[in-house]
Structure 1
């Protein structure tokens, strides 16, 4: 699972103006099919209008929105059959974790976001195969490539904030400005409270997927393992490798026990089959039975009469 929040840049990565350019770009694969926390099939024009309208007290050069990319692995996609409904369910769970990760006591309904599922990806300049010259830039990648793009407003949901403010539920003067690229991480002192721990969010997104779909994630598929292998000390990497080997051996032992149990049950099943498979011959109607001619009982031969000889004349 990859949960990525792209940093600022030029072109579509520039987030200080309208979200319309990014929304239009994400229409490239299929028109429409945007969804939010509680809606489906939101038109692209409404996505842009809603995001651009949800802002307060932001300067001209301030970020107005951010993009979150959720990319399940091919193993994860196989686990859910690339089901679009499950992908939408996961996205909403991941955005609940996005809200909670700021440490400000907010929920998914305090955000304004829209998301879209895409099924194709092309090679880019950052791909190793492109750098080595094995494939060309812009070539479609093989295998399942389903992923989700989320555009989320920097400002918390203004409509909900205003409603809670009027009801007396909130006493904050201004809505939150929520930046996942902030350098604050669980800050407890100063003007800014909370923050956003991006590594922690990646782990929370994984946990949201596993919990939603009962996915048993191997250690080698976790963000913690990948991050440690790339940034950890040699000692940390070695310890995780040992743990991964032990986990793999335990899984192989469980599999061997299960196979042995199945093999032991096979002979019993084979013995039971002939008994269960016995089929009685259907009775033949009387009128269809062959008629047999009755045979007369054999008569005993007549006793042989002896000739009585008289006197000779």
Structure 2
């Protein structure tokens, strides 16, 4: 499970309104019949029209400055393993989202506890993802594409008589490079914009910066987790407990659906890897055989080349270098699930 939180972009290329982001979330509905449309939902309601989402979010911005974000975007990205566990059921996913938003509200550090009824949010399920330029498969194929483009330019220069060269040999080299491209889907070379295979279901959530009363600011982007400051002569609590939110959201899924989470799937493991890969690797080595085997399969499915773990101590450092590829996979996952708004 990977959950991202992104603030509204407010530079000159983006609207002050939520309309651009809501329009972006409507992209999968283009060309579909009315009965096939995927609708917004909130904690208690279904089939909320996009116009209402825009009106409610844009109208809930009292006393916010022009350069302050008016809303935040959460993206909930279950893994394919998690999606298979719930049979990719959208109703179960909605149930999970509504529980997660309880955890989101409870993670605000305030004098008066924040409940899910205090926040204004709208969520929408999407079923597709496209490859982006920073995806590993696109980047590795691009190395070959760049060489092909250079050769094609050289062929055109030869044909125009600008330079001399062996066109036949260059065309053969292009064919060889095309054949060597490492990433394909059903024979088609993976490129930016191509749909990703397998289960790609995820949820986008737009959350107002202000609470439902339009009086209090609730920012998950606060640099504080738990702190107190003086406001109008009174000490007040502020902050958002991000670690608590991520961990509780993960536990929600496991308890709700009786999911047996492997170590490498956990938020705490990802955090440990970023902070100290050696501790992460030592923990991985110490897993029971069946859990370690499952961990390797999960990492392999993410495109991580993992060394054999029955290695002598003098080669642990070499294995650590190989296992560090996992960090790259985590970084790619983090990037590919973060949506610009």
Q: TM-score, normalised by structure 2?
A: 0.63
CA distance in 2 between partners of 1:102 and 1:3 (Å): 17
Q: Pairwise mapping of residues 153-164 of structure 1 onto structure 2 (< 5 A)?
A: 153-158=208-213
Secondary structure, in 3 states, of the residue corresponding to 1:210? helix
Check the 8 A contact 2:40/2:124 in 1, yes or no: yes
Q: 1:8 to 1:20 in 2, by over 3 A?
A: closer
CA distance in 2 between partners of 1:18 and 1:32 (Å): 22
Q: Could you say which residue in structure 1 is the equivalent of 2:108?
A: 102
Q: Could you say which residue in structure 2 is the equivalent of 1:5?
A: 5
CA distance in 1 between partners of 2:11 and 2:67 (Å): 14
Q: 1:125 to 1:193 in 2, by over 3 A?
A: farther
> Which blocks of at least 5 consecutive residues in structure 2 are unaligned?
30-36, 142-182, 184-189, 295-341
Q: Could you say which residue in structure 2 is the equivalent of 1:214?
A: 258
Q: Could you say which residue in structure 1 is the equivalent of 2:305?
A: none
Secondary structure, in 3 states, of the residue corresponding to 1:5? strand
Q: Could you say which residue in structure 2 is the equivalent of 1:145?
A: 200
Q: 1:214 to 1:56 in 2, by over 3 A?
A: same
Q: Could you say which residue in structure 2 is the equivalent of 1:186?
A: 226
Deviations 1:263-296 (A, max 9, x none): xxxxxxxxxxxxxxxxxxxxxxxxxxxxxxxxxx
- Which residue of 268, 274, 278 maps to 1:224? 268
Question: Does residue 20 of the first structure (1) align with residue 24 of the second (2)?
Answer: no
CA distance in 2 between partners of 1:90 and 1:155 (Å): 23
Q: Pairwise mapping of residues 57-72 of structure 1 onto structure 2 (< 5 A)?
A: 57-72=63-78
Deviations 1:133-185 (A, max 9, x none): 24211110010000000000000012xx7xxxxxxxxxxxxx32111111011
CA distance in 1 between partners of 2:6 and 2:12 (Å): 11
Check the 8 A contact 2:8/2:70 in 1, yes or no: no
Q: 1:13 to 1:138 in 2, by over 3 A?
A: farther
CA distance in 2 between partners of 1:212 and 1:8 (Å): 31
- Which residue of 57, 67, 80 maps to 1:74? 80
Structure with max Cα Rg: 1
What's the offset of the Cα at 1:8?
5.1
What's the offset of the Cα at 1:227?
2.3
Structure with the largest fraction of strand: 2
Size of the alignment, in residue pairs?
234
Check the 8 A contact 1:65/1:152 in 2, yes or no: yes
CA distance in 1 between partners of 2:133 and 2:121 (Å): 29
CA RMSD of aligned residues (A): 2.4
What's the offset of the Cα at 1:211?
1.7
Q: 1:147 to 1:11 in 2, by over 3 A?
A: farther
Q: Could you say which residue in structure 2 is the equivalent of 1:131?
A: 139
Deviations 1:41-88 (A, max 9, x none): 001111111111112110111110010000111111111111111110
